[in-house]
Amino acid sequence: MTTPRIPGRRFLHSPGPTPLPDAVLHAMSVQPMDLGDPRVDANIDACESGLKRLLHTDASELFLYASNGHGVWEAVIDNLAAPGQALLVPGTGHFSESWAVQAEALGRRVVRTPWREGWPIDAAAVEQALRDDRSHDIQAVLAVHTDTASGVTSDIAALRRAIDDARHPALLVADVVASLAAAPFAMDALGVDVALGASQKGLMCPPGVGFIAVNGKALAVAQRCPAPRFYWDWERRRSDLSYRKFCGTAPQNLLFGLEAALSLIFSEGLEAVWARHARLAGAVQAAVAGWREGGALDFFARDAASRSVSVTTIAVGPGIDVDALRGVARERFQVAIAGGLGPLTGRAFRIGHLGDSNPAVILGALAGVEAALRVLGVPVGGGGVQRAVQFLAAAD
């Protein structure tokens, strides 16, 4: 691309895509391979087993897709519910609603539980909706673990209990796109039947690969599901041949990167990765807590305990132009932040802090945002980045 020169590295604080480590870039920077080359299968094996390890599942098969996250949403829908059957989508905001709309467009009936702005999934409402489904038409509960728009993480264990308490056979499906490799998640222990994710967030890879782990119970449901399907079909992908696993050519270079990224995560240690995310999220929250003393900004997530370690959504008062803020932060201070999505458009901005990050990066991003807020005349209270510095200096 021939664009104006950007000095230094522009900071990427979307909640996805996220920065790529050098090791991922290098792993991707090799020549593709003939499908008969044994390295192709070895790479796919490493991705499958690494993702299962990351998801803490022994009980599942792992399907990889050349697609983004919306693609694997579609795969879940196509494999678990036939047109006319129902899916329950608990409200988390923009992403739950998008998934629901997709299911409806594909001819499935969707049961929603309401979204309360700033709060996680209401497990009681889920339980009630399942109890109300006397005919057990609902095939699965499609739950977004961390909604990237709201920055709220919901309690998956509570959903498991809700399903169990309702004595409903619906599968529990968790979208961990925005939480995997950032927040703790243990598929088997949580009783999650299907978990899906994508490459471009906690996995520190470019967008373009989606994946789904499916346990035996869910596979059995899929086998009985009469929905016509081909590209997304799990059964057709259960093969030792890479060409069948991917319904065509595998996205090789992205998978080379994914293998490298998994290796980085395990070499750092998954507990250490989680702790790092919690620490950096704490720094961001310290800064926001400082800024909100200025009276113009606040956390969107009302419940401190459900604030995501991946992304912080910051609600702004009506006089603040979020697009202008993003423009100043990006073009003048080289910090790219995200805007509000869906109902939050113009009402919030978001700072991503997941993936391959560290204190200096987060502090630089916070300082850049603070500078942009100052340029726009937004009162920033008694210290934002300074509080983040203090928080990190005090953290062990």
53 lies in the binding site for a copy of itself (CB under 8 A): no
Residue of 259, 223, 344 whose CA lies nearest to 30: 259
Residue of 57, 66, 109, 117 whose CA lies nearest to 91: 117
Q: Which stretch binds a copy of itself (CB under 8 A): 115-123, 159-167, 183-191, 334-342?
A: 334-342
270 lies in the binding site for a copy of itself (CB under 8 A): no
Q: Which is nearer to a copy of itself, 3 or 135 (CB)?
A: 3
Minimum CB distance to a copy of itself, residue 222 (Å): 14
Helix (H, G, I), strand (E, B) or coil at 159: helix
32 lies in the binding site for a copy of itself (CB under 8 A): yes
365 lies in the binding site for a copy of itself (CB under 8 A): yes
Q: Which is nearer to a copy of itself, 185 or 291 (CB)?
A: 291
Tokens of 83: 């047109």
17 lies in the binding site for a copy of itself (CB under 8 A): yes
- The rounded distance, in Å, linking the Cα atoms of 130 and 162 is 8
Tokens of 365: 């991003």
At residue 16, what are phi and psi to the nearest 5 degrees?
135, 130
Q: Are 64 and 209 in contact (CB under 8 A)?
A: yes
Q: Which stretch binds a copy of itself (CB under 8 A): 2-10, 110-118, 135-143, 182-190?
A: 2-10
Among residues 49, 223, 239, 358, which is the contact residue for a copy of itself, using CB under 8 A?
358
Site size toward a copy of itself, by CB under 8 A: 112
Among residues 326, 340, 351, 354, which is the contact residue for a copy of itself, using CB under 8 A?
326
**What letter does residue 307 receive in the DSSP assignment?**
B
Site for a copy of itself in 229-248 (CB under 8 A): 229-231, 233, 236, 246-248
Q: Which residue has 């009936």 as its token pair?
A: 109
Among residues 114, 228, 318, 319, which is the contact residue for a copy of itself, using CB under 8 A?
228
281 lies in the binding site for a copy of itself (CB under 8 A): no
170 lies in the binding site for a copy of itself (CB under 8 A): no
Among residues 85, 102, 306, 308, which is the contact residue for a copy of itself, using CB under 8 A?
102
Q: Which stretch binds a copy of itself (CB under 8 A): 10-18, 164-172, 181-189, 307-315?
A: 10-18
Which residue type occupies 256? F
- The rounded distance, in Å, linking the Cα atoms of 304 and 292 is 14
312 lies in the binding site for a copy of itself (CB under 8 A): no
109 lies in the binding site for a copy of itself (CB under 8 A): no
- The rounded distance, in Å, linking the Cα atoms of 264 and 19 is 14
Q: Are 28 and 253 in contact (CB under 8 A)?
A: yes
- How big is the CA angle at 101 (ends 306 and 55), to the nearest 5 degrees? 45
Dmax over Cα atoms in the chain, in whole Å?
62
122 lies in the binding site for a copy of itself (CB under 8 A): no
Q: Are 209 and 258 in contact (CB under 8 A)?
A: yes
Length of the chain: 396
How far is C-alpha 60 from the geometric centre of its chain's CA atoms?
Answer: 20
Residue 45's alpha-carbon distances to 50, 76, 115, 242, 375, in angstroms, are: 8, 22, 39, 10, 50
Minimum CB distance to a copy of itself, residue 195 (Å): 18
Q: Which stretch binds a copy of itself (CB under 8 A): 63-71, 112-120, 123-131, 164-172?
A: 63-71
206 lies in the binding site for a copy of itself (CB under 8 A): yes
Among residues 82, 270, 343, 386, which is the contact residue for a copy of itself, using CB under 8 A?
386
Residues with Cβ within 8 Å of 142's Cβ and at least 6 positions away in sequence, in order, are: 76, 87, 88, 89, 90, 96, 99, 100, 103, 173, 175
318 lies in the binding site for a copy of itself (CB under 8 A): no
Among residues 125, 137, 188, 334, which is the contact residue for a copy of itself, using CB under 8 A?
334
Site string for a copy of itself, 176-205 (x = CB under 8 A): ----------------------x-x-----
375 lies in the binding site for a copy of itself (CB under 8 A): yes
